[in-house]
Amino acid sequence: MTFWTPTIEGSGVARYIALADQIETAIQSGELSAGDKLPTHRKLADALEVTVGTVTRGYSEAERRGLVSAIVGSGTFVSSQQQPDIQFSHLLPSAANEIDLSLNLPIANQSAPGIRSVMQEIAADQNLFLELMGYQHERGLLRHRQWAVEWLAPRGIQSSPDNLAITCGGQHAITLSLMAATRAGDTIAAEGLAYPGLKAVASQQGLKVVGLPMDGQGVLPDAFASYCKLNHLRAIYLCPSIQNPTNASMGLARRKAIIKIAIANDVWIIEDEIPTNYLAQNPDSFVNLAPQQTFYINSHSKTVAPGLRVGYLIAPPKLIESVSASIRAQCWFAPTINVEIAQRWLDKKEAKDWLNIQKKDLYKRQELTSEILDGYDIVMTKGSFHVWLSLPEPWRAMEFQTLLAEKGVRVLSAESFAVGRFPAPQAIRICISGPSTIGQLETGLKIIRQQLEDGYDARFSVF
């Protein structure tokens, strides 16, 4: 098999600089793309007839320029060149004829009539209304926090109103955890491919985020431990049960291994469980296993309505006051009326019935996805809103995303989730809950299958 081999003679600069320059030129020309693995130091040294040290210096220079990342035990990969939170800011409304499989949403918001009637109920109760219009405790009304503790209990989460804060959605909870656990200039770690909202917070707060290598269970403990040995990490952000975007799902032994490393190195754990509301089985939560070390995040965005912005954050006892101070500084408290609407609605029998329908609908969508994408490399966890599709060779994920957009189907490629300079694999995330009908989802999935079957060359055959 041939591998990428640059020409570094005759450039007039030191050989290692010439090598880094060649990597840069190859990326600019498209000869090398994000995720490509560079030859090993030894192979390239032999091919170029230089010392291994020259290649090592060249790769280090390329890494310093942000062109490649070296991953211990795996090799050197071309980095994602994308701006940190560019995709996160792109919540564009989809066009009328477009099938949007790019966002994890609650299935068609049929809860709307119920929510409207809850709003009328609140407006009609003068005392309640006045209570909700006043200033409140930073972490929310006590009864709202108590309600949250009870809502979390059947999910296997032990908490108390004293270590729980009501937040303006899960995104705010991520911000608050990082504000409590870090200071500008600190480094945090995350899964190499992670929910883009994390990168948005980190860049606002002046944090460096390092993407750690993962497998089907999420972050590799060895990689986490190696990184901790060489660097001071303040926190690690994990989406351990239904990982967004890869659907990795972390077992108990792996969780314990991560906790051991985190405690030994004084690293706070941020456990984001927002995608887990339809999981068939409760995971062994980090917050139960290591309550002194863990922030836990959940919200009503995926089951009730993202527009209400209601989330919950459980904080380690040592940092709960710091969370309160951050909320106070930002907004005093999360709007109480929104919390009342979400919790009142969820208390209704009608809501419980609706959540069951939604869950069954999601499972049906998963079955349909398995049927239509049968034979392709997909990862899906029961109850997940999305599917992770590794593209067959020679597809590149960005190209595939663009091609699908031309065909009226919107998805996100792995590149959108790459943390720091982590090399993105050739894979896409397909969100199956967004389309309002199963029929629309089926059409979108069939278009995806068709492109895969037509093969890579089909798109060039029109010349």
Ligand X SMILES: Cc1ncc(COP(=O)(O)O)c(C=O)c1O
Measured between its terminal Cα atoms, the distance across the chain in Å is 29
Least distance between ligand X and beta carbon 220 (Å) = 20
Least distance between ligand X and beta carbon 299 (Å) = 3
Rounded to the nearest 5 percent, the helix, strand and coil shares of the chain are: 45, 15, 40
Residue number, 234 or 429, with CB nearest to ligand X: 429
Tokens representing 296? 């836990």
Give DSSP secondary structure letters for 407-462. Answer: TTEE-EEGGGGB-TTPPPPSEEEEESSSSSSHHHHHHHHHHHHHHHHH-GGGGGTT
Tokens representing 264? 């030994």
Residue number, 272 or 340, with CB nearest to ligand X: 272
Least distance between ligand X and beta carbon 297 (Å) = 7
Question: Where does 306-434 show beta strands of DSSP type E?
Answer: 311-314, 377-379, 386-390, 409-410, 412-413, 427-431
Least distance between ligand X and beta carbon 298 (Å) = 8
Contacts to ligand X by CB under 6 A: 104, 169-171, 195, 197, 239, 244, 272, 274-275, 299, 301, 306, 311
Residue number, 239 or 424, with CB nearest to ligand X: 239
Least distance between ligand X and beta carbon 91 (Å) = 10
Residue number, 171 or 451, with CB nearest to ligand X: 171
Least distance between ligand X and beta carbon 276 (Å) = 9
Helix (H, G, I), strand (E, B) or coil at 230: helix
Rounded CA separation 62/7 (Å)? 15
Helix axes 52-64, 15-29, angle to 10 degrees: 50
Tokens representing 227? 């990184």
Rounded CA separation 439/457 (Å)? 29
Least distance between ligand X and beta carbon 274 (Å) = 4
For residue 413, list its beta bridge partners: 428
Instruction: State how far the alpha carbon of 310 is from the alpha carbons of 92, 356, 393, 463, in Å.
Output: 22, 21, 42, 52
- The alpha carbon of residue 323 and the mean position of all alpha carbons in its chain are separated, in whole angstroms, by 22
For residue 418, list its beta bridge partners: 193
Residue number, 275 or 423, with CB nearest to ligand X: 275
Residue number, 140 or 170, with CB nearest to ligand X: 170
